[in-house]
Chains A and B, each alone.
Chain A
Amino acid sequence: MSSMLAEPGPLQRFVAELLTAEGALIEPIEPEGLDAVVPPSLQQALGVPELCRLGFGTALPEAAARVGIESDWLERCARVMGERGRWTKVMLDASAGLGDAEAALAHELALDNATFRLVAARPAWTRYLLFDLRYTAISDEKRDGVLRCIVNLATGALPDAVLERITPWLDDAGTDAVPPDSSMLPPDWPRSRVLDVLRHAVPPRLAEALAQFERGLRRRLARDQDRLHAYHNDLYREAMRRAAGAAEGDPVHQREQLRIAAIGREYRAKLDDLGHKYALRVALDWTRTLELVMPVVRLEVLVRRRKADRTVWLDWNRLARRLESPPCEDSFGPERPRLACDDAVHLVSAAGLAACPGCGKPYCRACHPGGCPKCGRA
């Protein structure tokens, strides 16, 4: 490539790499274009001739076909890609050691109703699964994005904070590093267990990602509600005034009473319409899964409650230099667990051990996901 050529944009870079991966020969040209010799299979999928010239900028090279984000080119590229690239596996190595395991544990784990102590800390390996989910949120407006969820297959943790720190390294992670013996790695999870965790873990994280969007639409909803109320309130008060001017039994009085009832009905119907207009529907589309193998320091921790105790394992990520919080075993949300239940010593957030709204008795939602064991209320 000539050093005089301008830096290609993201679409041009992507198309060039895709064509190359499919065996095409390409040469960048100015302004913002590519000359390509395309193999027959690709010609058909992309709808281009064997020798083609593609332009990506506002100004096109001579005789170039325009390729733009707003055109159908992304669909054509998706056709070429098919189901490839849905899964891969990489390894990230890091040698940082954990100096003071007790301090790291005290920093990351805080339980209000239980005690815990570090039993052991030893080097280990783990496997993370990173799921990329494209979401499309539609209300009166639309918002798209990609949500990334991470699961530690050794501990069941969902370490969002660790994910944030290791993301910059993922692009450079290799597949050629020598992995540890498979016996040192945690086993696969049953598919149903993975899906179950995702079903729990995604909604709260999605709510965080869409918080600004939701605030905006709630503000618009509130504004429309105010307008709707003001309009119907004017009608209502006018009808009330007229009704008050007529004696009971008078036809005017009866007519106004009917009118008042109709205004109320219409107001409620319009509110229902508003509810439908602003209802938020989010569609999730899984795009790819990355399996990440990493060395960690594994902490064995004994959690002790009044009637029982339990051992939990927490990983200290060597690259992120951070201890992973255990997941809330009820919500799998981003908040840290603060409580342990009596029977199974499940670690849950406050909501996971809250009082039943029916009978008022606190119960563990992780032990009883179906509802209150006393009154049965879900």
Chain B
Amino acid sequence: MDDSLPTHRIDDQATPPGFQETPTAPASTGTASTADRLRAALAARDPQAPALAEDAMRAAPADYDVPLLAALIMLVAKQPDRALTYLKRHQKRWVPGKRTDLLTALALAQQGHVGRAGTMLEAAGLDTLYRAYGALPQGVNVAEWLGGRLAEIARKRGRSPPPKAKPKPAKPARPTPRAIAMPAAPALPDLPRLEAGFTTSIEFANADAIRVTGDLPDPTWFRLRGELTQLGLFQGFDELLCLPLLHGVETHWYQVETVRKVLKQYRGRVLLADEVGLGKTIEAGMVVKEYMLRGMAERVLILTPASLVGQWREEMAEKFSIDCATTHDKLLRDDPAAFWAQPRVIASIAAARRKEHAALLAEQGYDVVVVDEAHHLKDQSSASYHLVNRLQKRFLLLLSATPVQNNLIELYNLLTLLQPGIFKTPKEFRAAYMVHGKPREPVNREKLRDLMRGVMVRNTRALAALRLPRRHAATLRAAPEPEEAACYRVLTALVRDVAADGQHRLAAQHLLSAAGSSPAAAAVAIARFRERHAPDKSWSALQSRYAALGAGAKQAALLDLLQRNPAEKKMVFVHHRDSLAHLAGLLRARGMAFATFDGSMSGPEKDASVAAFRDSVPILLCSESGGEGRNLQFCNTLINFDIPWNPMAIEQRIGRIDRIGQVREVFVFNLATAGTIEDQVLRILDEKINMFELVVGEVGAILGELEEQQDFSTMVLEAWLQASDAARDAAFAALEGQLTAARRDYEDAKQLDEALFGNELDAG
């Protein structure tokens, strides 16, 4: 990262004329980048600049310059809190440097912490205008404003701080406070800062008993004593039994600390509110496993959004060796009573809250209940809340990265589930903690945090020292040959016909998805469809046309990518097995070395593939399960040969290499044939939620609300299958609107939670 000081010369002519009142250019200037628009707004001192900055932070939070420029705009607009929020976000992705130091110091000064600001500037060597100017974000020219701020800091540090209350008109200078200041530091406006002593003492409890020799060796009793000592460590949860029994889990210290705290301090009732991507699921799984190993839990219920049931089942089985029944099982429909009587169940919360199931659930007793995406319980009058409230449970783990979305009363509701009575009645909570008419603003933040400390853990990426690498994503839209485009049009029309009455939806999805992957996959998918559903001859003709196509439009783009920078390792994700086989044949024919990794392989075969990829071959062709549970951080390039319609699946692919331990920049290439559903899906995800710039885990958080009723891929299919082009465009426009709103809601909730919880509720 380049955070070096630019070598600008400051002279009178280069000094900007200051902010003008002239309106700035509109935000949508076409080719101008987001950062350039911010620079323009800053240069013109546009009154709309703060709003533009907010939009820019939503649109391009991962851009290096955008958060810095947005923070600077907020400082110019005298909104230091927002500036600090943006700087914090910048620091989550980038190593802090002089730019962040300068802007942070200016924000602190605006908040009244002039002493800290001055110290920070001095420490960073930014206490002169020349140096500070060089540390401004590149391309901005606010020397006059900056000079004023630095002079103000210097002036205020030299005398007593201004009163906190509303500013008063200038008064005659008062006598200096030198005569009445504390003797230790009469000239300083701040209370001199002292450090508490930190002492360590070690006491040998039984040094006299230490034996250095003996007569008769006694290995049995010696071993038993060792075991007794180890078992003693497990008392009180200081040592975790579960750690050696986890599979494919790379545990981090903050996760272990969190689990310890949950077990010891919170006694199994806690809101786990870690920031996205820090592994709340792993923490919850460890807690469940620990309780089971200690014989403290037998019956476990995990409630989760429907779209995550499968993922939870897999993780619990593979990582924690805990097999669970799920609401996908047939038994739920055949015999609900028997289904819910099972000791370990992962349930879609939507299914569980249905009246007939909720009644059965209420009769069961559970040792541990886990609720994923627990912000769905924010409303006390909702069926989900009633369900969890009525459950008979000993330990309760609520998981949410954004527990408070709109109103502090949501926090009351969640924490009251964990510790009934913690905040007394809603009325008392409102009176004690909420500003009247401002439901998002706490009256006494510190007191609220003190209470939350007893029921909530929130680890942040800053605590975990998690610096995610910069990610670059590019979408390559391959123009299809006329015959391939024609085949796709015919397929779309045929699929619309067969799915018109609401039937064959799964088949329709599979056919279109296969055609978006490769002609080879399309031909095989059509053949299978014909076998099962015996449709008319037009399907047969289409199958022949696809079979005759051979290479699809994306093939050339893939080969081009693979041949560039040949020494760099590249993972190629292919959803459709027939496409995978086709590509394997193609690479083999061209003499390109590669390894494969797919779900049908045994564990040792997968290990061998990953080893070959790491040590000898530059390409790994893999299915959706590619690299699961393996360390692949040695690779930093990922190619999505085909695009799953489910964004979570795309995110999981990215997460294979963009994870803790990846130190290089990550490159993601998406291949799509123009005019296909995948093309449309990529456009929506890229433009509306900036999917490829999100931290792994955030997609799920954004789609959470949207997918309450229907998953994203179904929505895409529904839109695509509209009868007319106009109806299709309208359906996609509606979907885009929903996504944009979901992203905005998520960002709002994230900001609110950051402000509310800060970084004082972590497990460290």
Instruction: List chain A positions with a Cβ less than 8 A from chain B.
Output: 9-11, 13-14, 17-18, 21, 32, 56-59, 66, 68-70, 74, 77-78, 81, 84-90, 129, 131-132, 134, 142-146, 171, 175, 188-189, 191, 194-195, 198-199, 202-203, 206, 212, 214-216, 218-221, 223, 225, 227, 229, 232-233, 236-238, 240-241, 243-245, 247-248, 253, 256-257, 260-261, 263-264, 267-268, 271-272, 274-275, 278-291
Contact = CB atoms under 8 A, between A and B. Distances in A.
A146 B190 CA distance: 46
A89 B199 CA distance: 38
Contacts of A216: 257, 764
A86 B227 contact: no
Nearest to A66: B295
B471 to A, nearest CB: 29
B225 A85 contact: yes
Contacts of B367: 58
Contacts of A280: 198-201
Given A218-B198, A236-B191, A237-B189, A248 B179 contact: yes
A221 B295 contact: no
A interface, over-half SS: helix
Contacts of A227: 446
B212 A21 contact: no
Given A81-B221, A89-B214, A281-B201, A146 B296 contact: no
Contacts of A285: 205-206
Contact of B201 (A198, A214, A279): A279
Interface in B173-190: 174-177, 179-182, 184, 189-190
B196 interface: yes
A260 B179 CA distance: 12
B227 A275 contact: no
A314 to B, nearest CB: 23
B182 to A, nearest CB: 5
Contacts of B180: 240, 243-244, 248, 253, 256-257, 260
Interface stretch (B233-241, B502-510, B542-550, B606-614): B233-241
Given A85-B224, A220-B764, A223-B760, A287 B229 contact: yes
Query: Which size class do B's interface residues fall under?
Result: 35 or more
A144 B199 contact: no
Contacts of B227: 10, 13-14, 17
B206 A286 contact: yes
Contact of A240 (B177, B193, B194): B177
Interface in B40-65: none
| Chain B CB within 10 A, most for which of A69, A232, A241 | A69
B298 interface: yes
B501 interface: no
Contact of B182 (A68, A88, A129, A264): A264
A101 to B, nearest CB: 31
Interface in B476-515: none
Given A69-B234, A189-B212, A233-B191, A287 B182 contact: no
Given A70-B294, A134-B229, A87 B239 contact: no
A288 B199 contact: no
Contact of B213 (A58, A87, A142, A261): A87
| Chain B CB within 10 A, most for which of A56, A146, A256 | A146
B212 A77 contact: no
Contact of A275 (B174, B189, B198, B202): B198
22 contacts: A9-B295, A10-B227, A18-B224, A58-B367, A86-B211, A86-B214, A88-B219, A134-B229, A145-B239, A188-B213, A191-B210, A194-B212, A212-B253, A227-B446, A237-B189, A237-B191, A240-B160, A240-B177, A248-B180, A280-B201, A283-B203, A286-B209
Given A191-B212, A281-B201, A58 B297 contact: yes
A131 B204 CA distance: 13
Contacts of B201: 279-282
Give the 6 A-B residue pairs with the shortest CB-CB distance, closest first.
Answer: A85-B225, A85-B221, A58-B298, A87-B214, A88-B222, A236-B191
Contacts of A21: 220-221, 224
B228 A81 contact: yes
Contact of B222 (A68, A87, A206, A283): A87
A287 B202 contact: no
A271 B196 contact: yes
A287 B297 contact: no
B213 A291 contact: yes
B228 A175 contact: no
Contacts of A284: 202-205
B232 interface: yes
Contacts of A240: 160, 177, 180-181, 189
B12 interface: no
Contacts of B207: 195, 198, 286
